[in-house]
Chains A and B, each alone.
Chain A
Amino acid sequence: MSLLELLGLSKQFGGLAAVNNCNLRIEAGEIHALIGPNGAGKTTLINLIAGTLPPSRGQLRFQGENITHLPAHQRVHRGLARTFQITNLFKNYTVRTNLELAVQARAGSSFRFWQPVAQEKHLTEAALAVAEQVGLAGRFERVVGQLSHGEQRQLEVGLALASRPKLLLLDEPMAGLGAEESERMVALIAQLAQHHTILLVEHDMGAVFRLARRISVLVYGQVIASGSPAEIRANPEVHKAYLGDEGGAE
């Protein structure tokens, strides 16, 4: 049984099919990369999986269960966590508060109205552990708006991580990063892969081919190929439709 299965998933905006009859399997333990030209529907697909958008047709199965109509927040509790392509954080809060909020979401009910949350030491401890994991322990009390772009991307991953997901949906984690920051992100993802299944949407082909165990190629909302990096590199369809004249991966 695959961890996540997309069965004929489609999403239409007006007359336009952003995702069209898409089939995809993600196996437990793998880093599965999703690539495709701009406008291929990658972010829409992530939104469909995360539950931010309802699909027009098709089915989503997670751990064998149908989650097609499950609201977004409940998918998080099932073990689906995402990052955003455009950094999406609590900008006015500290790294600590950001992470504590993420931890709090999975650690017991948040409909508690009386006990001061500041007294819940275990939230802070768990938050600090995540901060260490994503390399932000030294920035723990900083307000997020003051962090560098790279650090914000790291926190983005940290927030997803804090919910202890079974499947991490990373939407272009390398977007806008410099060479050195990208290197740090690749290392971070590689390290996370030891314990998590990851669906990685990424434009940085170098990173994709280094990290991914399997790659799927999305063109015009359809998966035109799926396979190991070597298979994808050799696939003429992919060359034609996507890699085109560039003649291979970077």
Chain B
Amino acid sequence: MKKLVWLMVFLGLMGFSLALAQPRTVKVGFVSTLSGGGAALGIDVRDGFNLALRHLNNQLGGLPVEVIVADDQQNPDVARQAVDRMLKRDRVDFLTGIIFSNILLAVGDAIFEEKVFYISPNAGPSEYAGEQCNPYFVNVAWQNDNLHEAMGQYVQTRRFENVFLLAPNYPAGRDALTGFKRYFKGRVVAEVYHRLNQLDFSAEIAQIRAARPKAVYAFEPGAMGVNFIKQYAEAGLLREIPLFLPGFSADADVIRAVGRGMVGIYNSSQWTLELNNPINQRFVEDFRKTYNRTPTLYASQGYDAALLLDAAIKAVGGDLSKKDELRKAMLAGFNSTRGPLRFSPNGYPIQNYYLRQVIQQPGGEIVNRQVGTIFTNHRDAYVDRCKLR
């Protein structure tokens, strides 16, 4: 029992010394999904973020950076504990990194309560876009509906009579299909929600086969996407019923896993490999060189999150206590891999959405090519309900 007392004293002292040692650095908490089925996404965002830091000489707006990384295991509970630790023990200045919307919604309140900015490199739940929008929230990726709105628009222009919709049963899944239906005006044969992180889609695929729709749209982030597309191809459906996907389900990582079956698939994205600006060219080139793989849109979002922080901190001259100025500086926009990026008052970007298609190049390499533009300067559907200015 004596040892326990010592342990407590020790812990107390440890915390005390931490509290005393506070040189002026920027502390960024990076909570992301780094293990399990969604790990590829988190690792891409992290690698993109780290690449940007390297390009910025490990400084953000002139201040040295300390990044504290935690794995949320795609589990809201684990994420809460990690965020709690970062807010209360490490006292970070910014938080970023979260991939999945359900994770973000589980920790958002705690972050905003501490008046800490959350820079979202991916998760863009509708909750934070409308009435519940928050001054401490900025998203450098896209609102959850957007890629699906773009695909809905495209499927609509192709005049498909009806479509079968599939998504996991969680907030982003519902947002996604809502977004698709906002622009697709044809008939929805069925809207099937399955358990999050389900890996065997045989039951759903049988349903699709029986329903005989003209097209299928599936929102399946992470490992679910790989499994669904693989099984869809193995069931022989890819040749019979065209499959449309959001951009991340047809990105380099999925292509690596599924292979030739992907060729021909159309998908939507706010970023493409070919975007013609110096920041993007440097990003794509150095990412390939550093990590030996083709960057995905997730990686570009991680890269942009760091660039946004850099620009905003520079704008307030490194004084992180000026929260209002920081927010103004962030919303004013910055130069991203997608060119100059502006934001709505709810913290979501106003940007273009492109159509891409998976093609096989003459050399045999399979890539996801930009083939058109679906929306220009597109805003999210909820911004009008946000009271922030």
Do chains A and B directly touch (beta carbons under 8 Å) in the complex?
no
Interface residues of A (CB under 8 A from B): none
